[in-house]
Structure 1
Amino acid sequence: MLNPEILHALRNLPLSAKQAAEGFLAGQHLSRRRGVGMEFSQYRPYQPGDDLRRLDWRLAARSDRYYIRESEVDTSVTVHLLLDASASMNHQDDNGLRKLDYARLLLAALAYLAQNQGDAVGLTILHPKGLEHIPPRSDARQLPRLFHALESVAAAGSFPSTSTLAPLTARRQRALTICVSDLYEEEAEINSLLTRLRVASGEILLLHLLAHNELHFTYRGTVTFEDLETGQTLQLDADQQRKTYQEELQAWLRATAQEARRQGFDYHQLDSAEPLDRAMREFLRKRDSMSN
Protein backbone atom coordinates (compact mmCIF):
# COMPACT_ATOMS: atom_id res chain seq x y z
CA MET A 1 0.00 0.00 0.00
CA LEU A 2 3.01 2.33 -0.23
CA ASN A 3 2.89 2.34 -4.04
CA PRO A 4 2.13 5.94 -5.12
CA GLU A 5 0.08 4.86 -8.15
CA ILE A 6 -2.23 2.71 -6.02
CA LEU A 7 -2.60 5.41 -3.38
CA HIS A 8 -3.32 8.08 -5.99
CA ALA A 9 -5.91 5.84 -7.65
CA LEU A 10 -7.94 5.83 -4.41
CA ARG A 11 -8.81 9.51 -5.08
CA ASN A 12 -9.25 9.91 -1.33
CA LEU A 13 -6.34 11.68 0.37
CA PRO A 14 -7.34 10.95 4.01
CA LEU A 15 -7.74 7.25 3.20
CA SER A 16 -4.51 7.19 1.19
CA ALA A 17 -2.59 8.82 4.06
CA LYS A 18 -4.02 6.36 6.58
CA GLN A 19 -3.26 3.34 4.37
CA ALA A 20 0.30 4.51 3.68
CA ALA A 21 1.19 5.42 7.27
CA GLU A 22 -0.40 2.39 8.90
CA GLY A 23 1.05 0.10 6.24
CA PHE A 24 4.47 1.52 6.99
CA LEU A 25 4.03 1.28 10.78
CA ALA A 26 3.13 -2.40 10.57
CA GLY A 27 6.25 -4.25 11.63
CA GLN A 28 8.19 -1.11 12.51
CA HIS A 29 9.96 -1.15 15.88
CA LEU A 30 10.29 2.47 16.90
CA SER A 31 13.06 3.57 19.23
CA ARG A 32 11.38 4.89 22.35
CA ARG A 33 12.39 5.59 25.92
CA ARG A 34 10.65 3.84 28.80
CA GLY A 35 8.41 5.72 31.19
CA VAL A 36 4.78 6.23 32.14
CA GLY A 37 3.11 6.06 28.76
CA MET A 38 0.40 4.25 26.87
CA GLU A 39 2.18 1.26 25.32
CA PHE A 40 3.38 -1.58 27.53
CA SER A 41 7.09 -2.38 27.34
CA GLN A 42 8.16 -4.69 30.19
CA TYR A 43 8.00 -5.48 33.90
CA ARG A 44 10.56 -4.67 36.56
CA PRO A 45 10.59 -5.51 40.29
CA TYR A 46 8.83 -3.07 42.62
CA GLN A 47 11.07 -0.67 44.53
CA PRO A 48 10.07 1.47 47.52
CA GLY A 49 8.73 4.80 46.30
CA ASP A 50 7.28 3.46 43.05
CA ASP A 51 3.78 4.56 42.10
CA LEU A 52 1.46 1.81 43.35
CA ARG A 53 -0.95 2.54 40.50
CA ARG A 54 1.60 0.95 38.18
CA LEU A 55 1.71 -2.33 40.11
CA ASP A 56 0.43 -5.35 38.21
CA TRP A 57 -1.90 -6.79 40.87
CA ARG A 58 -2.88 -9.80 38.78
CA LEU A 59 0.74 -10.86 38.41
CA ALA A 60 1.25 -10.28 42.14
CA ALA A 61 -1.70 -12.56 42.95
CA ARG A 62 -0.25 -15.34 40.80
CA SER A 63 3.39 -15.08 41.85
CA ASP A 64 3.39 -13.38 45.28
CA ARG A 65 5.87 -10.92 43.81
CA TYR A 66 5.36 -7.27 43.02
CA TYR A 67 6.17 -5.92 39.58
CA ILE A 68 5.89 -2.47 38.04
CA ARG A 69 4.58 -2.16 34.50
CA GLU A 70 6.92 0.00 32.44
CA SER A 71 5.66 1.58 29.26
CA GLU A 72 7.09 3.33 26.27
CA VAL A 73 6.60 7.02 25.64
CA ASP A 74 7.74 9.57 23.10
CA THR A 75 8.62 13.18 23.56
CA SER A 76 6.45 15.16 21.17
CA VAL A 77 8.04 17.17 18.37
CA THR A 78 6.75 20.12 16.37
CA VAL A 79 6.70 19.12 12.70
CA HIS A 80 6.49 21.79 9.99
CA LEU A 81 5.67 20.45 6.51
CA LEU A 82 6.75 22.61 3.59
CA LEU A 83 5.46 22.07 0.03
CA ASP A 84 7.00 23.65 -3.07
CA ALA A 85 3.94 24.39 -5.25
CA SER A 86 5.76 26.10 -8.11
CA ALA A 87 4.82 25.11 -11.68
CA SER A 88 7.73 22.69 -12.16
CA MET A 89 5.94 20.36 -9.71
CA ASN A 90 3.37 19.77 -12.49
CA HIS A 91 5.93 17.63 -14.34
CA GLN A 92 4.29 14.29 -15.16
CA ASP A 93 6.02 10.93 -14.91
CA ASP A 94 5.48 7.94 -17.21
CA ASN A 95 3.04 6.48 -14.65
CA GLY A 96 0.76 9.52 -15.04
CA LEU A 97 1.60 11.00 -11.63
CA ARG A 98 2.81 14.57 -11.35
CA LYS A 99 5.46 15.44 -8.81
CA LEU A 100 2.71 17.39 -7.04
CA ASP A 101 0.57 14.24 -6.76
CA TYR A 102 3.43 12.33 -5.16
CA ALA A 103 4.27 15.22 -2.83
CA ARG A 104 0.62 15.50 -1.77
CA LEU A 105 0.44 11.80 -0.88
CA LEU A 106 3.77 11.90 0.92
CA LEU A 107 3.00 14.96 3.04
CA ALA A 108 -0.47 13.63 3.94
CA ALA A 109 1.10 10.36 5.09
CA LEU A 110 3.77 12.21 7.08
CA ALA A 111 1.09 14.36 8.72
CA TYR A 112 -0.85 11.24 9.70
CA LEU A 113 2.33 9.62 11.00
CA ALA A 114 3.31 12.74 12.98
CA GLN A 115 -0.09 12.93 14.66
CA ASN A 116 0.10 9.21 15.41
CA GLN A 117 3.32 10.01 17.28
CA GLY A 118 1.61 12.77 19.28
CA ASP A 119 3.33 15.62 17.44
CA ALA A 120 2.04 19.08 16.63
CA VAL A 121 2.09 19.28 12.84
CA GLY A 122 1.63 22.24 10.52
CA LEU A 123 1.84 22.96 6.80
CA THR A 124 3.05 25.77 4.59
CA ILE A 125 2.34 25.72 0.85
CA LEU A 126 4.70 27.94 -1.12
CA HIS A 127 2.86 29.85 -3.88
CA PRO A 128 4.36 32.66 -5.98
CA LYS A 129 1.65 35.08 -4.80
CA GLY A 130 1.74 34.22 -1.10
CA LEU A 131 1.96 31.60 1.60
CA GLU A 132 -0.81 29.26 2.67
CA HIS A 133 0.12 28.56 6.26
CA ILE A 134 -1.56 26.27 8.81
CA PRO A 135 0.20 26.65 12.19
CA PRO A 136 1.31 23.46 13.95
CA ARG A 137 -1.34 21.93 16.21
CA SER A 138 -2.00 18.50 17.67
CA ASP A 139 -5.80 18.61 18.08
CA ALA A 140 -8.17 16.15 16.41
CA ARG A 141 -9.25 18.66 13.74
CA GLN A 142 -5.75 19.36 12.45
CA LEU A 143 -5.49 16.46 10.03
CA PRO A 144 -8.70 17.41 8.16
CA ARG A 145 -7.34 20.96 7.84
CA LEU A 146 -4.07 19.70 6.38
CA PHE A 147 -5.74 17.19 4.07
CA HIS A 148 -8.10 19.87 2.71
CA ALA A 149 -5.20 22.23 2.00
CA LEU A 150 -3.22 19.50 0.25
CA GLU A 151 -6.22 18.39 -1.82
CA SER A 152 -6.87 21.97 -2.92
CA VAL A 153 -3.33 22.96 -3.88
CA ALA A 154 -2.48 23.70 -7.51
CA ALA A 155 1.10 24.16 -8.69
CA ALA A 156 1.72 27.38 -10.61
CA GLY A 157 4.26 30.09 -11.27
CA SER A 158 7.79 30.28 -9.94
CA PHE A 159 9.14 29.93 -6.41
CA PRO A 160 8.04 32.79 -4.10
CA SER A 161 10.23 35.84 -3.64
CA THR A 162 12.22 36.56 -0.49
CA SER A 163 9.75 39.26 0.57
CA THR A 164 6.84 36.83 0.21
CA LEU A 165 8.67 34.30 2.37
CA ALA A 166 9.65 36.81 5.08
CA PRO A 167 6.76 35.98 7.49
CA LEU A 168 7.73 32.32 7.39
CA THR A 169 11.35 32.89 8.37
CA ALA A 170 10.43 35.48 11.02
CA ARG A 171 8.90 32.80 13.24
CA ARG A 172 11.34 31.28 15.69
CA GLN A 173 10.22 27.93 17.05
CA ARG A 174 12.19 24.73 17.48
CA ALA A 175 10.76 22.31 14.94
CA LEU A 176 11.55 19.63 12.43
CA THR A 177 10.97 21.24 9.04
CA ILE A 178 10.32 18.77 6.20
CA CYS A 179 10.56 20.32 2.75
CA VAL A 180 9.40 18.49 -0.39
CA SER A 181 10.67 20.18 -3.54
CA ASP A 182 12.20 19.39 -6.92
CA LEU A 183 14.75 22.15 -6.17
CA TYR A 184 14.36 23.84 -9.54
CA GLU A 185 15.35 27.42 -8.84
CA GLU A 186 16.85 30.43 -10.59
CA GLU A 187 19.17 31.94 -7.99
CA ALA A 188 19.37 29.54 -5.03
CA GLU A 189 16.13 30.92 -3.56
CA ILE A 190 15.06 27.53 -2.12
CA ASN A 191 18.45 26.92 -0.53
CA SER A 192 18.34 30.46 0.90
CA LEU A 193 14.92 29.87 2.45
CA LEU A 194 15.96 26.57 4.05
CA THR A 195 19.15 28.14 5.40
CA ARG A 196 17.09 30.84 7.14
CA LEU A 197 14.60 28.25 8.41
CA ARG A 198 17.44 26.21 9.86
CA VAL A 199 18.50 29.25 11.89
CA ALA A 200 14.90 29.82 13.00
CA SER A 201 13.84 26.24 13.76
CA GLY A 202 16.96 24.11 13.92
CA GLU A 203 16.34 20.95 11.87
CA ILE A 204 15.71 20.54 8.13
CA LEU A 205 14.80 17.30 6.39
CA LEU A 206 15.05 18.03 2.66
CA LEU A 207 13.27 15.54 0.40
CA HIS A 208 14.44 16.20 -3.15
CA LEU A 209 11.71 14.87 -5.43
CA LEU A 210 12.37 13.99 -9.06
CA ALA A 211 10.26 12.12 -11.58
CA HIS A 212 11.46 8.72 -12.75
CA ASN A 213 11.47 9.81 -16.40
CA GLU A 214 13.72 12.81 -15.74
CA LEU A 215 16.06 10.78 -13.52
CA HIS A 216 16.46 8.03 -16.13
CA PHE A 217 15.64 10.05 -19.28
CA THR A 218 13.18 7.49 -20.63
CA TYR A 219 12.30 9.59 -23.71
CA ARG A 220 12.82 8.32 -27.25
CA GLY A 221 13.27 10.05 -30.59
CA THR A 222 12.59 13.73 -31.25
CA VAL A 223 11.05 15.39 -28.20
CA THR A 224 9.99 18.96 -27.46
CA PHE A 225 10.55 19.96 -23.83
CA GLU A 226 8.87 22.95 -22.17
CA ASP A 227 10.02 24.77 -19.06
CA LEU A 228 6.85 24.77 -16.96
CA GLU A 229 7.79 27.99 -15.20
CA THR A 230 9.10 30.13 -18.08
CA GLY A 231 7.31 28.58 -21.04
CA GLN A 232 10.57 28.22 -23.00
CA THR A 233 10.76 25.20 -25.31
CA LEU A 234 13.61 23.05 -26.56
CA GLN A 235 13.48 20.36 -29.26
CA LEU A 236 16.12 17.64 -29.33
CA ASP A 237 16.81 14.03 -30.24
CA ALA A 238 16.50 12.18 -26.95
CA ASP A 239 18.58 9.21 -28.08
CA GLN A 240 21.49 11.41 -29.13
CA GLN A 241 21.38 13.60 -26.02
CA ARG A 242 20.78 10.86 -23.40
CA LYS A 243 24.42 10.40 -22.35
CA THR A 244 25.12 14.12 -22.10
CA TYR A 245 21.88 14.73 -20.21
CA GLN A 246 22.57 11.98 -17.70
CA GLU A 247 26.14 13.16 -17.09
CA GLU A 248 24.98 16.73 -16.49
CA LEU A 249 22.08 15.60 -14.31
CA GLN A 250 24.33 13.47 -12.10
CA ALA A 251 26.79 16.35 -11.75
CA TRP A 252 23.94 18.65 -10.69
CA LEU A 253 22.57 16.10 -8.22
CA ARG A 254 26.00 15.60 -6.63
CA ALA A 255 26.53 19.35 -6.31
CA THR A 256 23.01 19.83 -4.91
CA ALA A 257 23.46 17.09 -2.29
CA GLN A 258 26.89 18.39 -1.27
CA GLU A 259 25.62 21.95 -0.87
CA ALA A 260 22.57 20.85 1.10
CA ARG A 261 24.67 18.82 3.52
CA ARG A 262 27.21 21.63 3.79
CA GLN A 263 24.35 23.86 4.94
CA GLY A 264 23.45 21.26 7.58
CA PHE A 265 20.32 19.86 5.93
CA ASP A 266 19.43 16.18 6.13
CA TYR A 267 19.18 15.60 2.36
CA HIS A 268 17.52 12.65 0.59
CA GLN A 269 16.64 12.15 -3.06
CA LEU A 270 13.27 10.61 -3.96
CA ASP A 271 12.02 9.00 -7.17
CA SER A 272 8.31 9.62 -7.78
CA ALA A 273 7.88 6.06 -9.12
CA GLU A 274 9.09 4.49 -5.86
CA PRO A 275 7.08 3.66 -2.70
CA LEU A 276 6.74 6.23 0.07
CA ASP A 277 8.48 4.19 2.77
CA ARG A 278 11.96 5.71 2.45
CA ALA A 279 10.75 9.22 3.21
CA MET A 280 8.70 8.02 6.21
CA ARG A 281 11.67 6.06 7.54
CA GLU A 282 13.87 9.15 7.32
CA PHE A 283 11.18 11.20 9.06
CA LEU A 284 11.04 8.79 12.01
CA ARG A 285 14.82 8.60 12.23
CA LYS A 286 15.13 12.39 12.29
CA ARG A 287 12.21 12.75 14.67
CA ASP A 288 13.64 10.24 17.13
CA SER A 289 17.01 12.01 17.12
CA MET A 290 15.22 15.23 18.15
CA SER A 291 13.07 13.64 20.87
CA ASN A 292 15.90 11.75 22.58
Structure 2
Amino acid sequence: MATKALAAETRRPGRRESEGAAALAARMPRLVLEARQVSSLLAHGLHGRRRAGPGESFWQFRPFVTGEAAARVDWRRSARDDRLYVREREWEAAHNIWFWIDRSASMAFASDLAGASKIERALVLGLALADAFVDGGERVGLLGLTRARASRGIVEHLAQALVADRAGLDRDLPPDAQPARFDEVVLIGDFLTPPERIAASLSGLAAAGSRGHLLLVADPIEETFPFSGQAVLHGLEGAPSLDIGDAGAWGDRYRARIAAHRDRLAEIVRGQGWTLTVHRTDRPASEAALRLATLVMARGG
Protein backbone atom coordinates (compact mmCIF):
# COMPACT_ATOMS: atom_id res chain seq x y z
CA MET A 1 0.00 0.00 0.00
CA ALA A 2 1.40 3.36 -0.99
CA THR A 3 1.64 5.96 1.74
CA LYS A 4 2.25 9.70 1.73
CA ALA A 5 2.64 12.28 4.48
CA LEU A 6 1.08 15.67 3.77
CA ALA A 7 0.62 18.73 5.95
CA ALA A 8 -2.95 19.59 6.87
CA GLU A 9 -4.22 23.15 6.79
CA THR A 10 -4.71 23.02 10.57
CA ARG A 11 -1.10 23.20 11.70
CA ARG A 12 -0.92 21.78 15.24
CA PRO A 13 2.42 19.99 15.58
CA GLY A 14 2.23 16.35 16.52
CA ARG A 15 4.44 15.15 19.35
CA ARG A 16 6.57 12.87 17.20
CA GLU A 17 7.32 15.55 14.63
CA SER A 18 8.02 18.22 17.26
CA GLU A 19 10.47 15.92 19.01
CA GLY A 20 12.13 15.25 15.67
CA ALA A 21 12.53 18.97 15.03
CA ALA A 22 13.96 19.50 18.50
CA ALA A 23 16.50 16.76 17.79
CA LEU A 24 18.03 19.03 15.15
CA ALA A 25 20.40 20.19 17.86
CA ALA A 26 22.28 16.92 17.45
CA ARG A 27 22.43 17.33 13.68
CA MET A 28 23.27 21.03 13.69
CA PRO A 29 27.07 20.62 13.48
CA ARG A 30 26.67 18.63 10.25
CA LEU A 31 24.23 21.20 8.85
CA VAL A 32 26.59 24.05 9.75
CA LEU A 33 29.39 22.32 7.84
CA GLU A 34 27.14 21.79 4.82
CA ALA A 35 26.04 25.43 4.98
CA ARG A 36 29.64 26.62 4.91
CA GLN A 37 30.31 24.44 1.86
CA VAL A 38 27.35 25.99 0.05
CA SER A 39 28.42 29.47 1.17
CA SER A 40 31.87 28.96 -0.31
CA LEU A 41 30.26 28.47 -3.73
CA LEU A 42 28.59 31.88 -3.44
CA ALA A 43 31.58 33.84 -2.18
CA HIS A 44 32.96 34.88 -5.55
CA GLY A 45 29.66 36.23 -6.85
CA LEU A 46 28.82 38.12 -3.69
CA HIS A 47 32.20 39.81 -3.56
CA GLY A 48 31.11 41.52 -6.75
CA ARG A 49 28.53 43.39 -4.73
CA ARG A 50 31.20 45.72 -3.34
CA ARG A 51 30.96 48.81 -5.50
CA ALA A 52 31.25 52.58 -5.46
CA GLY A 53 28.58 54.48 -3.57
CA PRO A 54 27.74 56.42 -0.40
CA GLY A 55 29.88 55.30 2.53
CA GLU A 56 32.98 56.04 4.56
CA SER A 57 35.46 53.35 3.52
CA PHE A 58 37.92 54.15 0.74
CA TRP A 59 37.50 51.91 -2.29
CA GLN A 60 39.66 53.21 -5.12
CA PHE A 61 40.89 56.20 -7.10
CA ARG A 62 39.65 56.62 -10.65
CA PRO A 63 40.33 59.24 -13.33
CA PHE A 64 38.19 62.39 -13.27
CA VAL A 65 35.55 62.47 -16.02
CA THR A 66 34.75 65.71 -17.83
CA GLY A 67 31.42 67.04 -16.65
CA GLU A 68 31.77 65.91 -13.02
CA ALA A 69 31.73 68.47 -10.22
CA ALA A 70 35.22 69.82 -9.44
CA ALA A 71 34.51 69.23 -5.75
CA ARG A 72 34.86 65.51 -6.36
CA VAL A 73 38.54 65.80 -7.34
CA ASP A 74 41.05 64.45 -4.82
CA TRP A 75 43.68 67.15 -5.17
CA ARG A 76 46.29 65.43 -3.02
CA ARG A 77 46.26 62.30 -5.19
CA SER A 78 46.06 64.38 -8.39
CA ALA A 79 49.17 66.37 -7.37
CA ARG A 80 51.28 63.22 -7.70
CA ASP A 81 50.38 62.77 -11.37
CA ASP A 82 49.50 64.71 -14.48
CA ARG A 83 45.87 63.62 -14.28
CA LEU A 84 42.92 64.46 -12.06
CA TYR A 85 41.58 61.69 -9.81
CA VAL A 86 38.35 61.11 -7.88
CA ARG A 87 38.33 59.23 -4.55
CA GLU A 88 35.53 56.66 -4.55
CA ARG A 89 34.08 55.24 -1.37
CA GLU A 90 32.82 51.69 -1.05
CA TRP A 91 29.07 51.14 -1.00
CA GLU A 92 27.79 50.75 2.53
CA ALA A 93 24.08 49.89 2.39
CA ALA A 94 22.20 51.17 5.43
CA HIS A 95 19.96 48.14 5.76
CA ASN A 96 19.92 44.68 7.29
CA ILE A 97 18.99 41.22 5.98
CA TRP A 98 16.55 39.34 8.21
CA PHE A 99 15.91 35.59 8.02
CA TRP A 100 13.07 33.40 9.19
CA ILE A 101 13.26 29.61 8.81
CA ASP A 102 10.14 27.46 9.19
CA ARG A 103 10.75 24.66 11.71
CA SER A 104 7.16 23.51 12.20
CA ALA A 105 6.25 19.82 11.96
CA SER A 106 5.46 19.68 8.24
CA MET A 107 9.06 20.65 7.53
CA ALA A 108 10.26 17.32 8.98
CA PHE A 109 8.95 15.44 5.95
CA ALA A 110 11.38 13.70 3.60
CA SER A 111 10.49 11.17 0.92
CA ASP A 112 12.76 8.52 -0.58
CA LEU A 113 13.26 10.83 -3.57
CA ALA A 114 14.61 13.72 -1.51
CA GLY A 115 18.21 14.52 -0.71
CA ALA A 116 17.22 15.80 2.74
CA SER A 117 14.21 16.68 4.85
CA LYS A 118 12.69 20.06 4.17
CA ILE A 119 13.81 21.44 7.53
CA GLU A 120 17.42 20.36 7.05
CA ARG A 121 17.52 21.89 3.58
CA ALA A 122 15.91 25.11 4.85
CA LEU A 123 18.49 25.42 7.64
CA VAL A 124 21.40 24.79 5.26
CA LEU A 125 20.08 27.42 2.84
CA GLY A 126 19.45 30.00 5.56
CA LEU A 127 22.83 29.56 7.24
CA ALA A 128 24.70 29.47 3.92
CA LEU A 129 23.09 32.68 2.71
CA ALA A 130 23.70 34.38 6.06
CA ASP A 131 27.39 33.45 5.92
CA ALA A 132 27.73 34.62 2.32
CA PHE A 133 25.96 37.94 2.97
CA VAL A 134 28.14 38.71 5.99
CA ASP A 135 31.20 37.86 3.93
CA GLY A 136 29.90 40.37 1.38
CA GLY A 137 29.73 43.12 4.00
CA GLU A 138 26.09 42.87 5.08
CA ARG A 139 24.44 42.58 8.50
CA VAL A 140 22.26 39.54 9.17
CA GLY A 141 19.78 38.61 11.89
CA LEU A 142 16.86 36.30 12.71
CA LEU A 143 13.42 37.91 12.88
CA GLY A 144 12.32 38.13 16.50
CA LEU A 145 15.39 36.26 17.80
CA THR A 146 18.63 38.16 17.23
CA ARG A 147 19.84 41.58 16.26
CA ALA A 148 21.43 42.05 12.86
CA ARG A 149 25.19 41.74 12.97
CA ALA A 150 28.17 41.32 10.66
CA SER A 151 30.05 38.80 12.80
CA ARG A 152 32.42 36.34 11.17
CA GLY A 153 30.87 33.69 13.40
CA ILE A 154 27.37 34.42 12.13
CA VAL A 155 26.62 30.79 11.21
CA GLU A 156 27.32 29.49 14.72
CA HIS A 157 25.51 32.43 16.28
CA LEU A 158 22.33 31.85 14.27
CA ALA A 159 22.51 28.06 14.75
CA GLN A 160 22.68 28.47 18.53
CA ALA A 161 19.73 30.88 18.51
CA LEU A 162 17.63 28.46 16.46
CA VAL A 163 18.44 25.48 18.70
CA ALA A 164 17.45 27.47 21.79
CA ASP A 165 14.18 28.70 20.26
CA ARG A 166 11.76 25.90 21.17
CA ALA A 167 8.76 28.17 20.60
CA GLY A 168 9.69 28.38 16.93
CA LEU A 169 8.83 24.69 16.49
CA ASP A 170 5.15 25.58 16.74
CA ARG A 171 5.29 28.56 14.38
CA ASP A 172 4.32 28.18 10.72
CA LEU A 173 4.76 31.89 9.89
CA PRO A 174 7.26 34.57 10.96
CA PRO A 175 6.79 36.40 14.27
CA ASP A 176 5.22 39.85 14.22
CA ALA A 177 7.98 42.27 13.29
CA GLN A 178 8.42 45.43 11.27
CA PRO A 179 11.82 45.60 9.60
CA ALA A 180 13.03 49.06 8.67
CA ARG A 181 12.60 50.60 5.26
CA PHE A 182 15.02 49.12 2.71
CA ASP A 183 15.79 46.13 4.94
CA GLU A 184 15.68 42.76 3.17
CA VAL A 185 13.62 39.83 4.52
CA VAL A 186 14.24 36.20 3.50
CA LEU A 187 11.53 33.72 4.54
CA ILE A 188 12.30 30.01 4.07
CA GLY A 189 9.62 27.33 4.49
CA ASP A 190 7.06 25.15 2.74
CA PHE A 191 4.27 27.76 2.97
CA LEU A 192 1.46 25.22 3.14
CA THR A 193 -0.38 27.62 5.43
CA PRO A 194 -3.74 29.01 4.15
CA PRO A 195 -3.04 31.91 1.77
CA GLU A 196 -4.97 34.50 3.76
CA ARG A 197 -2.66 33.99 6.74
CA ILE A 198 0.42 34.28 4.52
CA ALA A 199 -0.94 37.49 2.99
CA ALA A 200 -1.53 39.04 6.42
CA SER A 201 1.98 38.09 7.58
CA LEU A 202 3.69 39.55 4.51
CA SER A 203 1.61 42.71 4.74
CA GLY A 204 2.83 43.29 8.29
CA LEU A 205 6.46 42.68 7.38
CA ALA A 206 6.30 45.01 4.38
CA ALA A 207 4.39 47.79 6.14
CA ALA A 208 7.47 49.94 6.76
CA GLY A 209 8.87 49.44 3.28
CA SER A 210 11.08 46.39 3.73
CA ARG A 211 11.74 44.23 0.69
CA GLY A 212 11.53 40.49 0.77
CA HIS A 213 11.96 37.08 -0.73
CA LEU A 214 10.12 33.80 -0.15
CA LEU A 215 12.10 30.61 -0.64
CA LEU A 216 9.61 27.74 -0.86
CA VAL A 217 11.16 24.36 -0.02
CA ALA A 218 9.23 21.38 -1.39
CA ASP A 219 9.78 17.62 -1.40
CA PRO A 220 9.61 16.17 -4.94
CA ILE A 221 6.71 13.93 -3.94
CA GLU A 222 4.72 17.00 -2.86
CA GLU A 223 5.17 18.32 -6.37
CA THR A 224 4.44 15.20 -8.41
CA PHE A 225 2.36 12.83 -6.24
CA PRO A 226 3.66 9.74 -8.12
CA PHE A 227 1.27 7.18 -6.61
CA SER A 228 -1.24 4.68 -7.93
CA GLY A 229 -3.51 2.05 -6.42
CA GLN A 230 -4.81 2.09 -2.85
CA ALA A 231 -3.15 4.75 -0.68
CA VAL A 232 -3.40 6.26 2.79
CA LEU A 233 -2.29 9.84 3.53
CA HIS A 234 -0.77 10.46 6.95
CA GLY A 235 -0.95 14.05 8.24
CA LEU A 236 2.23 15.41 9.84
CA GLU A 237 0.59 17.98 12.07
CA GLY A 238 -2.07 16.25 14.11
CA ALA A 239 -4.51 15.53 11.27
CA PRO A 240 -6.04 12.02 11.04
CA SER A 241 -4.98 9.58 8.34
CA LEU A 242 -7.05 9.64 5.17
CA ASP A 243 -7.80 6.55 3.04
CA ILE A 244 -8.16 8.05 -0.44
CA GLY A 245 -8.74 4.85 -2.39
CA ASP A 246 -7.46 5.16 -5.97
CA ALA A 247 -4.36 7.37 -5.67
CA GLY A 248 -4.07 7.81 -9.43
CA ALA A 249 -7.49 9.45 -9.76
CA TRP A 250 -7.03 11.46 -6.56
CA GLY A 251 -3.60 12.66 -7.70
CA ASP A 252 -5.02 14.85 -10.47
CA ARG A 253 -7.13 16.78 -7.96
CA TYR A 254 -4.19 17.01 -5.58
CA ARG A 255 -1.87 18.47 -8.22
CA ALA A 256 -4.53 20.95 -9.29
CA ARG A 257 -4.98 22.10 -5.70
CA ILE A 258 -1.22 22.45 -5.16
CA ALA A 259 -0.96 24.46 -8.38
CA ALA A 260 -3.80 26.75 -7.28
CA HIS A 261 -2.17 27.27 -3.89
CA ARG A 262 1.16 28.06 -5.55
CA ASP A 263 -0.49 30.52 -7.96
CA ARG A 264 -2.20 32.29 -5.07
CA LEU A 265 1.10 32.48 -3.18
CA ALA A 266 2.83 33.98 -6.22
CA GLU A 267 0.04 36.56 -6.49
CA ILE A 268 0.45 37.53 -2.82
CA VAL A 269 4.20 37.89 -3.19
CA ARG A 270 3.90 40.00 -6.36
CA GLY A 271 1.40 42.24 -4.62
CA GLN A 272 4.04 43.18 -2.06
CA GLY A 273 6.75 43.62 -4.67
CA TRP A 274 8.63 40.62 -3.22
CA THR A 275 10.09 37.58 -5.01
CA LEU A 276 9.25 33.87 -4.89
CA THR A 277 11.74 31.05 -5.47
CA VAL A 278 10.74 27.36 -5.44
CA HIS A 279 13.37 24.79 -4.47
CA ARG A 280 12.93 21.01 -4.50
CA THR A 281 14.94 18.94 -2.07
CA ASP A 282 16.11 16.59 -4.82
CA ARG A 283 18.08 19.49 -6.30
CA PRO A 284 21.41 20.87 -5.01
CA ALA A 285 21.09 23.48 -2.28
CA SER A 286 23.56 25.69 -4.13
CA GLU A 287 21.03 26.30 -6.94
CA ALA A 288 18.50 28.01 -4.69
CA ALA A 289 21.21 29.78 -2.68
CA LEU A 290 22.71 31.30 -5.81
CA ARG A 291 19.33 32.48 -7.06
CA LEU A 292 18.47 34.09 -3.71
CA ALA A 293 21.90 35.72 -3.46
CA THR A 294 21.45 37.15 -6.96
CA LEU A 295 17.99 38.49 -6.15
CA VAL A 296 19.14 40.17 -2.95
CA MET A 297 22.14 41.68 -4.73
CA ALA A 298 19.91 43.04 -7.48
CA ARG A 299 17.43 44.52 -5.01
CA GLY A 300 20.22 46.02 -2.98
CA GLY A 301 21.30 48.15 -5.93
The TM-score range, normalised by the shorter chain, is: 0.7 to 0.9
Greater than 6 Å deviation, 4+ residue runs: 45-48, 69-72, 152-155
Residue type at the aligned position of 2:189: S
Map of 1:95-110 to 2, 5 A cutoff? 95=114, 97-110=116-129
| Structure 1 segments unaligned to the other structure (5+ residues) | 1-8, 125-131
CA contact (8 A) 1:75 1:291 kept: no
CA contact (8 A) 1:123 1:134 kept: yes
Q: What SS does the aligned partner of 2:206 have?
A: helix
Residue type at the aligned position of 2:296: R
Q: What SS does the aligned partner of 1:177 have?
A: strand
Q: What displacement does 1:159 show?
A: 2.9
The residue aligned with 2:205 is 197
Map of 1:113-192 to 2, 5 A cutoff? 113-124=132-143, 133-150=145-162, 156-157=169-170, 159=172, 165=175, 168-169=176-177, 171-174=178-181, 175-186=183-194, 188-192=196-200
Q: What displacement does 1:75 show?
A: 2.7
The residue aligned with 1:74 is 91
Residue type at the aligned position of 2:180: Q
The residue aligned with 1:128 is none
The residue aligned with 2:32 is 14
**% identity of equivalent residues:** 21
Q: What displacement does 1:282 show?
A: 3.9
Compare relative contact order (CA 8 Å, sep 6+) and give the higher one, 1 or 2: 2
| Structure 2 segments unaligned to the other structure (5+ residues) | 1-26
The residue aligned with 1:246 is 255
Deviations 1:17-43 (A, max 9, x none): 222122133467835533685776x85
Q: What SS does the aligned partner of 1:137 have?
A: coil
Question: Which piece of structure 1 moves more, 281-290 or 240-249?
Answer: 281-290
Map of 1:271-286 to 2, 5 A cutoff? 271-286=280-295
CA–CA distance in 1 between the matches of 2:97 and 2:78? 32
The 1:273–1:31 alpha-carbon spacing in structure 2 relative to 1, beyond 3 Å, is: same
Decide which structure has greater strand share: 1
Q: What displacement does 1:113 show?
A: 1.2
Pick from 271, 288, 291: which aligns with 1:262? 271
Pick from 213, 220, 238: which aligns with 1:212? 220
Deviations 1:76-116 (A, max 9, x none): 33000011222111111323511101100000011001101
The 1:205–1:53 alpha-carbon spacing in structure 2 relative to 1, beyond 3 Å, is: same
Q: What is the TM-score of this pair, normalised by structure 1?
A: 0.73
RMSD of aligned alpha carbons? 3.6
Q: What SS does the aligned partner of 1:135 have?
A: coil
Map of 1:228-247 to 2, 5 A cutoff? 228-236=236-244, 237-247=246-256
Q: What SS does the aligned partner of 1:209 have?
A: strand
Q: What SS does the aligned partner of 1:101 have?
A: helix
Count of matched residue positions in the alignment of Structure 1 and Structure 2: 263
Q: What displacement does 1:145 show?
A: 0.9
The 1:95–1:210 alpha-carbon spacing in structure 2 relative to 1, beyond 3 Å, is: closer
CA–CA distance in 2 between the matches of 1:224 and 1:258? 32
Q: What SS does the aligned partner of 2:185 have?
A: strand
